Chain A
Amino acid sequence: MGLIGLAVFAVLALLAACLPRLLTDEFKAWVPWLVEKMISRAVNRAPPHYRQRLAEEWRSHANETPGSLGKLWFCSWLPWASGTLIREAPHAAAEVDNLGEPTEEEILASIRRVIAEAEETERLGQESAATWMGADAGAWPPVCNLSTDGRHRVLGVALHFSTVYGGKTFQGYCEICRKWVDTGDYPD
């Protein structure tokens, strides 16, 4: 009886000695997985346009946070952050439910929209160039070296000091050569 009691005691003592270490090791091994899971869940609840950025930023923050419990504490507040962000972006919240692959119709619609915008930009550019440059577009204002037809694509004007003539003239910002060019118009 005494021998059995001694054996049980020895086993229990061995378990008591090993168990905390075993549990600690197990906990440490699970923490990275848990952190990743918590970040992913929080990121998936954030507004779609922020997800990619927040995923990397939060992983980096967790990486910089010392200690396993510190990392878990950091991650435990992330759903709160996602919730606040989604509340602040109600239009984004509507997109959350519809995040699967875009349908063929949606892709076609977005392509059509991009083409229409590009055509409108091109049309406005041609109109404005024709209006401002008139017949002597070759002589003045300076030719746009980067555009195929040598014309600046200017969509708006502002009053600036002329780089060529004295005083202020209306200048437009060329989208192609990325500089302000005189339109030849002077303020009244």
Chain B
Amino acid sequence: MSSQTLKVLGALCSSPRDELSGADIARLTNLHSGTLYPILLRLERAEWLRSRWESGDPSELGRPRRRFYRVTALGAKRTREALRELRPIFRRFVWG
């Protein structure tokens, strides 16, 4: 799992909101669109993320609808596992 993917999952898992839009995730992770969207679609294909359109009609909203992403139970589990695997590596790196 790449560090960018972990950043995306971390942003989604640690956000107080259940769902985040692509723009919110970009803001939290500082990832540019060229990296962010392939990651989001890849995670969604793997069923680690689920997405839905903002409710409401674009003509009523007066702007394009946002797409919200949230982590699935599988995604949360895999993120925890990845972080658990990484923790000893970081500890070794920090303590030498």
Task: Give the B-binding residues of A (Cβ under 8 A).
Answer: 50, 53-54, 56-61, 63-65, 73-75, 77-81, 84-85, 88
The reply to whether A77 and B65 form a contact with Cβ atoms under 8 Å apart is no
Task: Write the chain B residue with the least CB distance to A56.
Answer: B64
Chain B residues within an 8 Å CB radius of A77: 32-35
User: Which residue of B has the minimal Cβ distance to A59?
Assistant: B64
Chain B residues in 8 Å Cβ range of A75: 33
Q: Assess whether B63 is in contact with A63, with CB atoms less than 8 Å apart.
A: yes
Interface residues of B in 38-96 (CB under 8 A from A): 38, 41-42, 53, 58, 63-67
By size class, the interface of chain B is: 20 to 34
Supposing A63-B63, A64-B66, A77-B34 touch, asked if A88 and B21 sit within 8 A by C-beta, the answer is no
Q: List, in ascending order, chain A residues with CB within 8 A of B37's CB.
A: 54, 57-58, 81, 85
B23, B34, B42, B64: the one contacting A78 at CB < 8 Å is B34
Residues in chain B near residue A63, CB distance under 8 A: 63-64
CB of B26 closer than 8 Å to a CB of A: yes
User: Of A59, A61, A74, A78, which one neighbours B21 at CB under 8 angstroms?
Assistant: A61
Q: Is the interface of B mostly helix, strand, loop or mixed?
A: helix
Contact B65 A88 (CB under 8 A): no
Check A78/B33 contact, CB under 8 A, given A64-B21, A85-B41. yes
Interface presence of B10 (CB below 8 A): no
Does B34 contact A60, Cβ atoms closer than 8 Å? no
7 A-B residue contacts at CB 8 Å? A50-B41, A58-B33, A61-B21, A63-B63, A64-B23, A64-B66, A73-B32
B38 x A61 contact (CB < 8 A): no
Chain B residues with CB below 8 A from A50, complex form = 41
* A50 to B67 alpha-carbon distance, docked (Å): 13
A59 CA to B63 CA in the complex, in Å?
Answer: 9
Q: How far is the CA of A84 from the CA of B31 in the complex (A)?
A: 15
Contact of A57 among B32, B38, B67 (CB under 8 A): B67
- Chain B's closest residue to A57 (CB) is B67
Give the distance in Å from the alpha carbon of A60 to the alpha carbon of B67 in the complex: 8
Contact at A81–B38, with CB atoms within 8 Å? yes
Q: Is the CB of B33 within 8 A of A56?
A: no
B34-A81 in contact (CB<8A): yes
**Distance, CA A53 to CA B66, complexed state (A):** 10
Distance in angstroms between the alpha carbons of A63 and B63 in the assembled complex: 8
Other contacts beyond A57-B67, A60-B63, A75-B33: 19, CB < 8 A: A53-B67, A54-B37, A56-B53, A56-B58, A57-B64, A60-B21, A60-B22, A60-B23, A63-B64, A64-B23, A74-B26, A77-B33, A77-B35, A79-B34, A81-B34, A81-B38, A84-B34, A85-B38, A88-B42
